[in-house]
Amino acid sequence: MIKLVEKIEEAEYITHSGTMHADEVFATAFLSLYKNNIKLFRTTEINPEEYKNVLVYDVGRGKYDHHQKDRKIRDNGIPYCSFGLLWNDFGKEYLKELNISDVDEVFNEIDRDFIEGIDAIDNGIFPKVEATFKIRNLCDIIKLFNPSYGSLEDESSQFLKAVDVAIKIFSEEIINVNGRIKARKILEPKIPEAIEKHYLELDEFMPYEDTIYSYDTNKEIYFVIYPSNRGGYAAKTIYQSAEDHTERIAFPEEWAGLDKKLAEVSGVTGATFCHMGRFLVSAETKEAAIELVKKAISKNDN
């Protein structure tokens, strides 16, 4: 729970007021999760030396700010922001409180997977995106909570709304990363066989992309097969990489958009559907899904 206090003397935490950004919003969300109840004061300027018993972040050019010349920078050149700095100091302790087993792995993965991007954008390092449509990142989404022009929205109320959303998102990020790392330990031994066959078989759906991108360096795994939550089995293409979302091999063009006719056109009994984008097929059985994948690989070889 976050309580915005009106007097600085009542505060346990201090951050900046005015236009909100993903950095201090997610930093506040993390502190709320870590400390449960926090009393927060928002201001434009402050000297952290005058408030040594208060945690000041993203303002005042102190330990948890990043607007000074001697700001802390990651080994890869991405500067820390308040979110990253707070996570760096308190993240592992929080993960231990959550009874996370692989604390170091989860801690580092969350920084790379989530926090680093927010820190980069807040420091003016923007990703290059080529698209014919507008793409909004998480930082853009948080900016939506700033009071809109012509509205009667209250700045403090909007800040609390944004933090509430950030709490939900960051909590799910932690759960998601922890699950991915658990899945990685199960999948690692399966990768050599999958490389040999050019497809990965799963007995249950689990996050597989990161493991494939990490261990299949020659890009020899083309498909993954798994039980579908709609019944039967699904087979999905593998992207070139985490950054390049083009298929290593797409399903045959003549299959695109077919459902009832897919079995006839493909020659696979039990085939039920191929997505128009040719990145997904479904079948009644695992055997049928494997046969569809093998046919797709064979057509590509030819």
pLDDT of residue 141: 97
Return the bridge partners of 226, or none: 234
pTM over 0.85: yes
Question: Is the separation of the CB atoms in 276 and 257 below 8 Å?
Answer: yes
CB 33 within 8 A of CB 48: no
The confidence score (pLDDT) of residue 302 equals: 59
Give the per-residue pLDDT at 70.
Answer: 85
pLDDT at 116: 97
Q: Report the alpha-carbon distance of residue 291 to residue 263 in Å, rounded.
A: 11
- Under DSSP, is residue 47 helix (H, G, I), strand (E, B) or coil? coil
pLDDT at 128: 85
pLDDT of the residue at 33: 98
Alpha helices in the chain (DSSP H): 22-35, 82-97, 103-110, 116-122, 138-143, 155-187, 191-197, 209-215, 262-266, 286-301
Q: Which among 231, 286, 293 has a CA at the least distance from the CA of 266?
A: 293
Measured from the Cβ of residue 13, the count of other Cβ atoms closer than 10 Å reads 21
Domain boundaries, the chain: 2-183, 198-301
Look at strands 38-43 and 2-4 and give their pairing: parallel
Are 280 and 235 in contact by the 8 Å Cβ rule? The answer is yes
**Per 3-state DSSP, what percentage of the chain is helix, strand, and coil (rounded to 5)?**
45, 15, 40
Structure tokens at 62: 């102190």
d(CA 225, CA 90): 39
Q: Reduced to 3 states, what is the DSSP secondary structure of residue 5?
A: coil
pLDDT beneath 50, residues of the chain: none
pLDDT at 68: 85
Q: How many CB atoms lie within 10 A of CB 53?
A: 6
Task: Report the relative pairing of strands 233-237 and 271-274 from DSSP bridges.
Answer: unpaired
